[in-house]
Amino acid sequence: MPRIRISGGHCRSRLIDVVDVAGLRPTPDRVRVTLFNWLGQDLTGQRCLDLFAGSGILGFEAASRGAAAVTLVEQDRDACAALRRNAAALKFGQLQIQCADALKFVVAPPQRYDVIFVDPPYRSGLIERVAPRLAELAAPTARVYVESEGELDSLAEAAEWQLLRRGRAGQVCYHLFGREAGTDGMGP
């Protein structure tokens, strides 16, 4: 079973197991380092959501950096089982693993999140389907990380989100979005 290393926080250098599931491609180490430089290394007290969790590496990185709560949503049962094993091995009590369809989860989220990771399988159209629901998922000052096969300038129908940063590593395009000043996603 392949393994990947957590790149920062109190569990830095710890390995997690990655199951062989079609379409699963863990975020590369170099991209994760950049992402958490953008977000800040200390996520103490923040609530994070890892949609389309797959290996869960983004959620595990957030937990390692002090996030108060991390929800990982993954529909593949084998991937969910691996997430639970890795969370137990790392003693991450703040992780909640939802073995569910992300598109159903976003319809009635249990809370709002400070950081949202959106990293679905490439060429699936799932980014476009999740984008309109981000306002209901996000806390007022939330940041949204999106990983895709191509560069994004916006989140389509989710107009209040502005591109803060972006990068590319090989075939991975990654983006960080934040709300435009003065919007809170709560409506007029």
Q: Render each residue's pLDDT in the chain as its tens digit; 188 residues.
A: 789 999 999 999 999 989 888 778 888 889 999 999 999 989 999 999 999 999 999 999 999 999 999 999 999 999 999 999 999 999 999 999 999 999 999 999 889 999 999 999 888 889 999 999 998 899 999 999 999 989 988 886 666 899 999 999 988 899 999 986 544 443 33
pLDDT attached to residue 44: 96
Structural tokens at position 67: 């996030």
Angle, CA of 164, 167 and 168, to the nearest 5°: 155
pLDDT attached to residue 158: 63
pLDDT attached to residue 78: 93
Structural tokens at position 52: 């389309």
Rounded to 10°, the helix 57-64/29-39 angle is 40
C-beta of residue 56 within 8 angstroms of C-beta of residue 125? no
**Torsion, CA 123, CA 126, CA 131, CA 134, rounded to 10:** -140
pLDDT attached to residue 157: 63
Sign of CA dihedral 120, 29, 16, 64: negative
Q: How far is CA 174 from the centre of its chain?
A: 11
Structural tokens at position 1: 């079973």
pTM over the 0.85 mark? yes
Q: Which positions ≥6 away from 85 have C-beta within 8 Å?
A: 17
